[in-house]
Structure 1
Amino acid sequence: MSTFIQLVLSGVLIGSVYALMSIGLTLIFGVLRIVNFAHGEFLMIAMYGAWAISQLFGLNPYIAAIAIVPAMFLFGAVVYRLVISPALDKPHLVVVFATMALSIFLQNAALMAMTADLRDIPPIFGRSLTIGPIYLKIELLLGFLITILCTVALQWMIKKTYLGKAIRATVQDGEAAMLMGIPVPRIFLITFAGGSALVGLAACVMMPLFSVFPSVGLNFVLIAFVIVVLGGMGSIEGALFGGICVGVMQSLSSYYIAPAFGQLFFFVLFLLVMVFRPNGLLGQQGAATVGMNE
């Protein structure tokens, strides 16, 4: 029984880290109604940044987030201006191909600059937290707490602040929002840049747990897409719940069946949810076209 509890808790913790990586993607889709296929490469760039700060200044990735998060906000703003904004009034496939091209470009640029070698950092905490027979990795616990705080803070911002009200108005009716004086293009820019900043925070949380290499984003972006659709398109709390479901499923199947089949079973779960609940576990009907859930 203790083994099962250990596996479930480990799955919840690693799933929360996956969820943090996916919240930015959910935010961007919920407001702009586009899918950023370069999301994984944003994560990769931020992980390289956290690794570089750790190597150059001896700072752990959690402290490096002070620099990485605003840097990714600026990077996201530049990408929005140069790539996303010109394509928003074009057919949807233009944005798809533009972000896919950006993904390929960033992967190859990282390969040229950093080679294919794996980069990682030494363990930050020397031992795990022990609660009876249960062992919890401190890095995963910190990731869980950071994810919960980000989810609560983001929900509060969207529901209680003027910026959040402007975002919700833009999602409901962009033209009416512009007539009411809301700068919709600026809201789009802030949202895309904010989603990129959240990816930067996720990278700093993930750097002590995973190695970084030029194609690491491809491994994680597939998980992020599954989480976003599984939880419900545009649902922030759905992304958290979907990430935990994926983490638990991966943990249990890897132990009881085989590690090689870890991803297979959460993709099976994903397909079952799409068949029996197409809107996602916490999604609302029509969210895929309407945008962010309220």
Structure 2
Amino acid sequence: MATFLQLLLSGVLIGSVYALMSIGLTLIFGVLRIVNFAHGEFLMIAMYGAWAFTHFLGLNPYFAAIAIVPAMFLFGGLVYLLIVSPALDKPHLVVVFATMALSIFLQNAALMAMTADLRDIPPIFSRSLTIGPIYVKVELLLGFLVTLVCTVALQWLIKSTYLGKAIRATVQDGEAAMLMGIPVPRIFLITFAAGSALVGLAACVMVPLFSVFPSVGLNFVLIAFVIVVLGGMGSIEGALLGGICVGVIQSLSGYYVAPAFGQLFFFVLFLFVMIFRPNGLLGQQGAATVGMND
């Protein structure tokens, strides 16, 4: 029983870290209704940045978020202005191919600049927390708390602030929102940049847990896509639930079956959800075409 509880807790914690990297993706999709296929490379760049702060400056990667998050906000805004914005009025496949091309470019640029070597940082905490027979890794616990705070803060921002009301109005009817004086292009810019900033925050949480290398984004972006669709397209709290489901399934199947089959089982869950609840666990009907859930 203790082993099962340990696996369950570990799955919830690692799943929350997966959810944190997925929240930015679901925010961008919920408002702009586009899928950023360079999402994994954004994560990779931010992880390299957090690693550099630790390796060269000796700073804690969590403190590196003070610089990484604003830097990723600016980077996301630049990508939106140069690549995404010109493609929004064109067929949807233009955005798909543009972000895929950006993904390939960033990955190969990182390979040239950093080589294929794995980069790690020394352990931050020497001991795990102990609760009876259960061990909790401090880095995972911090990741869970950061994800929880981000989810609550985003929900509050979207539902209780002027910016959030402007975002919801833009999602519901962009043309009517513009007639009411809402700067829709600026809302798109802020949303894309904010989603990129959230990826930067996720990277600072993930650097103590995972190695950094040029194709690390590919290892996580597929999980992020599964989480977004599993939780419900455009649902922030759904991304948290989807991440936890993926983490728990991966943890249990890795122990009771084999680590190599971890992705197999959560893809099976994904298929069942798509068959019996195609809108996702917390999604609403039509979210894929309407945008972010109210």
Q: TM-score, normalised by structure 1?
A: 1.00
Which residue of structure 1 aligns with residue 177 of structure 2?
Answer: 177
**Matches for 1:127-142 after TM superposition, within 5 Å:** 127-142=127-142
CA displacement at 1:57 relative to structure 2: 1.0
Give 2:33's aligned amino acid.
Answer: R
Deviation string for 1:73-92 (max 9, x for gaps)?
00000000000000000000
Which residue of structure 1 aligns with residue 200 of structure 2?
Answer: 200
Deviation string for 1:43-72 (max 9, x for gaps)?
000000000011111011100000000000
Which residue of structure 1 aligns with residue 4 of structure 2?
Answer: 4
Provide the rounded CA distance (Å) in 2 between the counterparts of 1:213 and 1:3.
32
Provide the rounded CA distance (Å) in 2 between the counterparts of 1:202 and 1:100.
21
Secondary structure, counterpart of 1:130 in structure 2: strand
Deviation string for 1:146-176 (max 9, x for gaps)?
0000000000000000000000000000000
Which residue of structure 2 aligns with residue 58 of structure 1?
Answer: 58
Provide the rounded CA distance (Å) in 2 between the counterparts of 1:99 and 1:159.
30
Which residue of structure 2 aligns with residue 47 of structure 1?
Answer: 47
Provide the rounded CA distance (Å) in 1 between the counterparts of 2:64 and 2:240.
24
CA displacement at 1:270 relative to structure 2: 0.4
Which residue of structure 1 aligns with residue 126 of structure 2?
Answer: 126
CA displacement at 1:115 relative to structure 2: 0.2
Secondary structure, counterpart of 1:135 in structure 2: strand
Which residue of structure 2 aligns with residue 165 of structure 1?
Answer: 165
Provide the rounded CA distance (Å) in 2 between the counterparts of 1:128 and 1:275.
40
Secondary structure, counterpart of 2:209 in structure 1: coil
Secondary structure, counterpart of 2:212 in structure 1: coil
Which residue of structure 1 aligns with residue 236 of structure 2?
Answer: 236
Which residue of structure 1 aligns with residue 17 of structure 2?
Answer: 17
Provide the rounded CA distance (Å) in 2 between the counterparts of 1:142 and 1:20.
12
CA displacement at 1:141 relative to structure 2: 0.2
- Percentage of pairs with the same residue: 89
Deviation string for 1:87-119 (max 9, x for gaps)?
000000000000000000000000000000000
Give 1:158's aligned amino acid.
Answer: I
Which residue of structure 1 aligns with residue 32 of structure 2?
Answer: 32
Which residue of structure 2 aligns with residue 96 of structure 1?
Answer: 96
Structure 2: segments with no counterpart, 5+ residues: none
Secondary structure, counterpart of 2:135 in structure 1: strand
Provide the rounded CA distance (Å) in 1 between the counterparts of 2:273 and 2:61.
35
Deviation string for 1:218-277 (max 9, x for gaps)?
010000000000000000000000000000000000000001101110011101100110
**Matches for 1:213-224 after TM superposition, within 5 Å:** 213-224=213-224
Secondary structure, counterpart of 1:35 in structure 2: coil
Runs of 4+ in 1 over 4 A off after TM superposition: none
Provide the rounded CA distance (Å) in 1 between the counterparts of 2:3 and 2:162.
47
2:284 corresponds to 1:291: no
Provide the rounded CA distance (Å) in 1 between the counterparts of 2:254 and 2:8.
12
CA displacement at 1:26 relative to structure 2: 0.3
Provide the rounded CA distance (Å) in 1 between the counterparts of 2:147 and 2:116.
30
Provide the rounded CA distance (Å) in 2 between the counterparts of 1:117 and 1:272.
38
What is the number of equivalent residue pairs in this alignment?
294
Which residue of structure 1 aligns with residue 86 of structure 2?
Answer: 86
Give 1:152's aligned amino acid.
Answer: V
Give 2:239's aligned amino acid.
Answer: A
